[in-house]
Amino acid sequence: MLHLRAIVPADRTDAVCEALADCAGATNVVVLPGAARSPRGDLVTSDIARESANEILDALRALGVDRDGSIALDKVDLTLSDKAEEAMERAPGHGDDAVVWEELDRQVSEGTALTWSFVAFLALATQLAGIAALIDSPILVVGAMVLGPEFAAVAAICYGIVRFQPWRIAHAVRALAVGFAVAIVITYVCALVSRWIGVIELDRLPDERPLTAFIYSPDRWSFIVALLAGAAGVLSLTAGKSSALVGVFISVTTVPAAGNLAVAMALRHGSEITGSLLQLAVNFAGMIIAGALTLLVQRALWAAVLRGQDRKAARGRT
């Protein structure tokens, strides 16, 4: 369930209540007249089944509540209410299958923001990956994968493709390009300094690294894994499954490839430079293709669910 909290201009409170009454997935409606002070209006709250969130948000926005008042949705961890259970049963489909587009919009918008923390996490992850390449440590590779924050920007590209928003795609590509460039440069400089002071040597990257060779040796499995990770990542975002998203981070080798690229450049290993760049390209391509297709499939399937609900309601009226 989701909890709706809306500040509604007094002249539109009845219309909002009617919209909530007409929604099968809304219940526990409470109105506090004149309770809001900034902006002024009535406070309307309700519990809403996740699968009905888009319907309610569209109705409230059509009434201008987002413009003249305020709309907030919070996740409810526990609801003990027979009415709430009935509302979830009446709502079409299942909550985990519903994409709350406004929620996803906010999530991916954060991924396109080129903040210092985004760059810092990416730089730290890339340096961990560089060390993993030097000592052939799969444990550090996994740590670098989990630490990297790049998937949110990849999801933003997928969302921009599906919603036809070139500006969002451009912002996400910019965040990825600048973030990875800075992270690779920092790791490259650190590797150079380490080489100059004798911490690492030119032959520190051996030709055979059985535990981490996959970082710079892309093949058909790399692309397949990227496809699966992209689909799983988008599903985890839309369903709110953060635990599944961690599995996505551990599946893709974007950050490890960037770390290996920086170290290979510093130690002049040309073959690994080419392999790392190709690994980056394969991973990003696979995730973007799969993520966009997953969103398209989700939108099509949910439209079919709603059409089925409408046909069922029409039969009930006749």
User: Is residue 216 located within the same domain as residue 107?
Assistant: yes
Q: Are residues 85 and 228 in the same domain?
A: no
Alpha-carbon distance 136 to 263, whole Å?
13
pLDDT at 84: 83
In this structure, the answer to whether residues 12 and 48 fall within a common structural domain is yes
**Are residue 86 and residue 116 in the same domain, yes or no?**
no
pLDDT in tens, 60-75: 999 999 999 999 998 8
The pLDDT assigned to 118 comes to: 92
123 in Cβ contact with 146 (< 8 Å): no
Question: Do both 123 and 260 map to the same domain?
Answer: yes
Long-range contacts of 170-175 (CB under 8 A, 24+ apart): 171/112, 172/108, 172/111, 172/112, 174/112, 174/114, 175/111, 175/112, 175/113, 175/114, 175/118
Q: How far apart are CA 318 and CA 315, in angstroms?
A: 5
Number of domains in the chain: 2
What would the two tokens of residue 211 be?
Answer: 């535990």
Say what the pLDDT of residue 64 is. Answer: 92
What's the pLDDT band for 148 if we cut at 50, 70, 90? confident
Answer with the one of 69, 91, 113 that is the final residue of a domain: 91
- What are the pLDDT digits (tens) for 163-213? 999 999 999 999 999 999 999 999 999 988 888 887 776 556 666 677 788
- 41 and 107 within one domain: no
In a domain, residue 96? The reply is: no
Strands 2-8 and 40-48, bridge-based pairing: antiparallel
Say whether both 244 and 117 belong to one domain.
Answer: yes
Is there a domain that residue 311 lies in? Answer: no
Q: Are residues 134 and 282 in the same domain?
A: yes
Q: What is the mean pLDDT of residues 115-122?
A: 92
Any alpha helices (H) in the chain, and if so which ranges?
13-22, 53-62, 65-68, 82-90, 101-111, 116-135, 138-147, 151-162, 166-196, 220-239, 242-251, 254-266, 270-317
Say which range, 134-143, 196-205, 278-287, 290-299, has the weakest mean pLDDT: 196-205
Average pLDDT (50-54) is 86
Q: How far is Cα of residue 111 from the mean position of the Cα atoms in its chain?
A: 7
The predicted structure's pLDDT at residue 176 = 94
Is residue 307 assigned to a domain? no
For residue 6, give the CATH number of its domain: 3.30.70.260
Q: Read off the pLDDT band of 122 (50, 70, 90).
A: very high
Three state DSSP letters for 89-118 = HHCCCCHHHCCCHHHHHHHHHHHCCCCHHH
Q: Cα torsion at 106, 169, 162, 119 (round to 10°)?
A: -50
Q: Does residue 97 lie in a domain region?
A: no
Same domain, 259 and 166: yes
Give domain status of residue 309, yes or no. Answer: no
Q: Rounded to whole angstroms, how far apart are CA atoms 167 and 172?
A: 9
What does the mean pLDDT of the chain come to? Answer: 86
- Residue linked to tokens 């975002």: 237
- pLDDT (tens digit, 9 = 90+) per residue, 213-233? 888 888 888 899 999 989 988
Half-sphere exposure of 225 (CA within 13 A, CB side): 19
Residues 267/205, Cβ–Cβ less than 8 Å? yes
Q: Are residues 292 and 160 in the same domain?
A: yes
Is residue 315 one of the residues assigned to a domain?
no
Per-residue pLDDT, 317: 52
Phi and psi dihedrals of 30, rounded to 5?
Answer: -130, 135
Any domain includes 258: yes
Residues 171 and 258 in one domain: yes
Q: What is the helix (H) or strand (E) element at residue 207, kind and residue range?
A: none
**Token digits of residue 242:** 């953060």
> Phi-psi category of 201—alpha, beta or left, where left has phi over 0 and alpha has psi -120 to 50?
beta
Whether 262 has a pLDDT exceeding 60, the answer reads yes
Query: Domain range for residue 179?
Result: 102-302
Helix (H) or strand (E) holding 42: strand 40-48
Against a cut of 0.75, is the pTM above it?
A: yes
Residue 308 lies in a domain: no
Residue that terminates a domain, selected from 61, 91, 121: 91
- Split at pLDDT 50, 70, 90, the class of 314 is low
If asked whether residues 79 and 111 sit together in one domain, one would say no
- Supply the pLDDT for residue 295: 92
